[in-house]
Amino acid sequence: MSALFALTAGMLSFFSPCIFPLVPAYVAHLTGTSVKDNKIQGRKWDIFTRSLAFIFGFSIIFVLMGATASFIGQFFTEYRTFIEKISGLLIIVFGLQMAGIFTFRFFMREKRWSLRKEKTKNIFSSMIIGMAFATGWTPCVGLTLSSILLLAGSTETMYNGMFLLWFYSLGLGIPFLIISLAITRSLRIVKNVNKWLPVLSVINGWIMVLLGVLLYTGQMQKISSLLSSYSIFSY
């Protein structure tokens, strides 16, 4: 159940004002190509392989974050119920911020990787850019990522925390790969989806609120246990 939330959160993070409108710039930078005739110029194989390397790069960082959060949480096992309640409350606050109910300015601080020109464009450099991307903080992605990390910190083992962040990375990476290939044909898909981004941000916020409520009330563990016998999304 938690992994399903993480997967969904990753997808909604991709379709956020911080990420989705910049996908053409990301892809152009990874491949050293440019936007021309309303589409990304470049070989599809280069775009595919370097997008995969980019995804692999940010997945490494996210999974390590999950391992760290879960590892720290192991030292407070006897206070797990208390930690779950605090984490649940924080996730609810993050969700309400994303839904537009709260407008705390300190949540809006931004740290983003810059698109600097590099002489060499290859798979390795794409992976490094992906790692740099994962360490950046943007208001609409950072809150979702923080929520998943809080959830990872309340898991029973370090591997569970890593598993959650792997699903988050998967949710973020799959649509990135699909869109990166689609925009070699036309950028129209980006323009069409952009108008729905505010709605998707609100949906993401309320999903986080639901996640926080389930974690605070202890229902998350009960639901996960109930689904563990047959669901691939259980941890």
Q: Is the pLDDT of residue 144 over 50?
A: yes
Token pair for residue 82? 């208390």
Task: List the chain domain ranges.
Answer: 2-227
Rounded CA-CA distance 143/135 in Å is 13
> pLDDT over 90 for what percent of the chain?
13
Q: What is the pLDDT of residues 10-67, one digit of tens each?
A: 888 888 877 888 888 888 888 777 777 677 777 888 889 999 999 999 999 999 988 9
Q: What's the pLDDT tens digit per position in 157-181?
A: 788 889 899 999 999 999 999 988 8
Quick one: average pLDDT of 110-134?
Answer: 72
**Residues whose CB is less than 8 angstroms from the CB of residue 209 and which lie 6 or more positions away in sequence, other chains included:** 91, 92, 95, 96, 99
For residue 227, CA distances in Å to 2, 4, 95, 218 come to 11, 11, 25, 15
Torsion-angle region of 207 (φ positive above 0: left; ψ -120 to 50: alpha; else: beta): alpha
Mean of per-residue pLDDT scores for the chain: 80
Report residue 222's pLDDT band, with 50, 70 and 90 as the boundaries. low
pTM: 0.81
**pLDDT tens, position by position, 70-119:** 888 877 777 778 878 888 898 898 888 888 887 776 555 555 555 555 55
Which residues are paired to 111 by β-bridges? 137
Pick the closest to residue 104 from 114, 96, 112 (CA basis).
96
Give the three-class secondary structure for 111.
Answer: strand
Cα four-point dihedral sign 6, 7, 8, 13: positive
